[in-house]
Amino acid sequence: MKKIGLFVAVVVAILAFYSTVFAYKNTILVDSKPFYYNVPDVTIKIDGQNFDTGKTPPLILKDSTLIPVRVISENGFGAKVEWDGNTKSVTITKDKTVKLTIGSDIALVDGKEVKLVAPARIIEIGNEGYTYIPFRFLFETFGYKVEWDQKNYQINTTSPPKITNITDFSTSYNSGVFSVNIRADKPIKYNQGMIEEPGNIRIYVDVENAIWSKGKTNININRKNLVNAVIAQNQTQPVPKVRAVIYLTDVVPYNITQSQDNTSLTIYFDVGTSEVTGISFVKEGDYDKVIINCDAEHFNTQKVGDNKIVVDISDAILKMPDGSKAGQITVQGNVITAIRYSQYNNDTVRVVADTTGKADYSVKILDKNIIMLVLKSQSNEMPLIYIDPGHGGSDPGATGVGNIRESDINLAIALKLNNLLTKGGFRTMMSRDSDVFVDLITRSQEANNSGADVFISIHTNAFGTPTPKGTEIWYYPNGYKGDTRDNKTFAQIIHDNLMKEINTVNRGLKEGPNLSVLKNTKMPAILIETAFITNPDDAALLQDDAFQWKVAQGIYNGIVEYFKRLKEGSISTTVSNSVYNTNDANNNR
């Protein structure tokens, strides 16, 4: 009895196996021709779950596995399916548009042709016709990952990952640690890396299947060796990707962590904290010297009216010998009457020098001290012009006709301008006088810290085609975000004088609210695009020494006119109060 029972069990198992594997046997019409179908069942799994195609099973014909378009598109993808009997075509719409024509092995995906391994065809099952196409094309077109299990005659698919929307990109600082923060509405999946070049290090984070809808966003940092952080949509196809990049001048220890739900990502940089341990005063001849004992790497300065010079020391804490968090030193200098200091906020120490009247100053780092030199303004002292030749060193800028480099042209014109200005009695500073890299923040900070009267950045323009040509001048919009400078008047005067000297296409004035050297300077500032390095005619001019001298002469003439009109009182200028908060600078903190 046991043997009979075992035999019956084996027979039942075999019958069950064959009833499963060869379940579908039928005569079907393929392209209106009868075809006896007798092939093992094909099953479909989406994200591990069986997908039932009802009375239209997947079919294997001539080594191609075909699937019914409508039931999978509508029930599997949630797509819209339309049939056009006149053209014998079917259109599937969801995120993208797919059009297939019966009998054709070419499909249109968003208007682009895609070759199919087998043509779309009508297969009649039970007296009804259905459109069938190769399985891999349909699934992969809509972003599904597809695997074919030959052993089990099974199509395994995985849904495309859901798009992550980046909702916030910000920075913060606390107790010597600077953070770059990325937040999203779904868990963040990312890859990271570093690109190292001398003086130009980039740490990047690529967020996969992500969208950043706010366009390219730049955050200035300027702490220790951190320069700025940028986020932008890096690519949209085949899958969207967002890239965040942090620019550094040298390596800073960092790590990356995610929140418990993985919806936020933070890049931590150990920038350390500087200590202000003492402040002293010395009168040296006509100069007043303020010595701030501090190992800081970065500071900002500003004038407030005619009686205050403010130095803000970043990433610093006040550790005075008496333990005070604020204080005042009364002095009898040539122009300084008192020095006030405070822990302005949790990461900034502020030092304020009170003066009897107008004063010129310079601030620099020397032997782990910040040195402020103050001199009573001389009525006959010539203005200080800050000249900024764009790019340089590892950043050559645009490459033009004949492989000429923008950084070389910029420097050649800037040196000629410097020559004219010094011969004219003006005081000058240059961001660079050789082919070296200087980051954007350093350029504007150096001009601010030196008390420069105007800032002129010299560039050449470029475009993807050789057609555009001509000269234009960019300025920070008057009044934008509280800026009090009259940049437009300065730009117009330089423009008019420059165009009298050179015969190029006049492209006029342009507003540049996002240009770093314009928005981070506090004196009237402009950026001159002298000509297009990518246009053959302009490129020839830019390489001509005589033309370079004409550009320099035009700028020089504009500077002379600008300061002449200032002295006459027909125009006026103010230091911007948008770079630093001048209201807070007036109190005792």
By mean pLDDT, which of 199-203, 276-280, 453-457, 465-469 is the weakest? 199-203
259 has pLDDT over 90? yes
Residue found under tokens 């995120």: 95
Question: Over the range 59-97, which residues count as b (16 or more CB within 10 Å of their CB) and which as e?
Answer: bebeebbbbbbbbbbeebbebebeeeeeeebbbbeeeee
CA atoms in the 13 A half-sphere facing the CB of 405: 14
Judgement on whether residues 41 and 177 belong to the same structural domain of the protein: no
Judgement on whether residues 171 and 95 belong to the same structural domain of the protein: no
What is the domain extent for residue 70? 2-158
How would you classify residue 126: left for phi > 0, otherwise alpha for psi between -120 and 50, otherwise beta? Answer: left
574 has pLDDT over 70? no
pLDDT, position 30:
84
- Residue 588 in domain: no
**pLDDT tier at 7 (50, 70, 90 boundaries)?**
very low
By mean pLDDT, which of 28-37, 237-246, 465-474, 567-576 is the weakest? 567-576
- Residue 190 in domain: yes
Judgement on whether residues 374 and 390 belong to the same structural domain of the protein: no
Instruction: Kindly give the pairing relationship between strand 164-174 and strand 210-211.
Output: parallel
- Residue 289 in domain: yes
Coil, helix or strand for 583?
helix
15 has pLDDT over 80? no
Mean pLDDT of 486-515: 95
Mean pLDDT of 303-307: 73
Judgement on whether residues 63 and 149 belong to the same structural domain of the protein: yes
Judgement on whether residues 298 and 427 belong to the same structural domain of the protein: no
C-beta separation of 278 from 294 below 8 A = no
C-beta separation of 382 from 427 below 8 A = yes
Judgement on whether residues 248 and 368 belong to the same structural domain of the protein: no
- Residue 416 in domain: yes
Mean pLDDT of 468-489: 93
Of 493 and 295, more confident: 493
CATH number of the structural domain spanning residue 486: 3.40.630.40
**pLDDT tier at 9 (50, 70, 90 boundaries)?**
very low
Q: Give Cα separations from 513 to 75, 326, 439, 475, 480 (angstroms).
A: 50, 37, 19, 8, 8
Please give the structure tokens belonging to residue 389: 């030749």
**pLDDT tier at 569 (50, 70, 90 boundaries)?**
confident
CATH number of the structural domain spanning residue 123: 3.30.457.10
Using alpha carbons only, give the angle 427, 473, 535 rounded to the nearest 5 degrees.
115
Starting from the edge strand earliest in sequence, which strands make up the sheet with 106-109, in order?
A: 80-84, 89-94, 96-101, 106-109, 112-115
Cis peptide before 238 (omega within 30 of 0): yes
Of 173 and 22, more confident: 173
CA atoms in the 13 A half-sphere facing the CB of 125: 17
Q: Alpha helix (H) ranges present in 257-387?
A: none
Q: Which of 380, 399, 417 is the last residue of a domain?
A: 380
Judgement on whether residues 444 and 500 belong to the same structural domain of the protein: yes
Total domains present in the chain: 4
d(CA 403, CA 406): 9
Nearest Cα to Cα of residue 582 among 303, 212, 350, 207: 303
**pLDDT tier at 10 (50, 70, 90 boundaries)?**
very low
Mean pLDDT of 476-485: 90
pLDDT, position 19:
33
Q: Which of 139, 158, 177 is the last residue of a domain?
A: 158
Which residue in 406, 446, 501, 529 is the catalytic one? Answer: 529
CATH number of the structural domain spanning residue 175: 2.60.40.3500
Share of the chain above pLDDT 70, in %: 92
14 has pLDDT over 70? no
531-563 pLDDT, tens digit each: 999 999 999 999 999 999 999 999 999 999 999
Contacts of 453 (CB under 8 A, 6+ apart): 383, 384, 385, 523, 524, 563
147 has pLDDT over 70? yes
Judgement on whether residues 349 and 410 belong to the same structural domain of the protein: no
pLDDT, position 588:
31
265-287 pLDDT, tens digit each: 999 998 878 889 999 999 999 89
Judgement on whether residues 6 and 32 belong to the same structural domain of the protein: yes
**pTM confidence score:** 0.47
pLDDT, position 77:
81
Nearest Cα to Cα of residue 587 among 344, 357, 359, 349: 344
Cα 217 to chain center, whole Å?
5
Q: Which of 158, 179, 197 is the last residue of a domain?
A: 158
Judgement on whether residues 262 and 288 belong to the same structural domain of the protein: no
477 has pLDDT over 90? yes
Whether 529 sits among the annotated catalytic residues: the reply is yes
DSSP per-residue string spanning 244-287: EEEEESS---EEEEE-TTSSEEEEEEE---EEEEEEEEEEETTE
- Residue 458 in domain: yes
- Residue 579 in domain: no
116 has pLDDT over 60? yes
Judgement on whether residues 105 and 117 belong to the same structural domain of the protein: yes
Mean pLDDT of 205-230: 88
408-463 pLDDT, tens digit each: 999 999 999 999 999 998 999 999 999 989 999 889 988 887 778 899 999 999 99
Average pLDDT of every residue of the chain: 86
367-418 pLDDT, tens digit each: 889 999 998 876 557 889 999 999 998 899 999 998 999 999 999 999 999 9
- Residue 575 in domain: no
- Residue 584 in domain: no
Judgement on whether residues 365 and 495 belong to the same structural domain of the protein: no
**pLDDT tier at 216 (50, 70, 90 boundaries)?**
confident
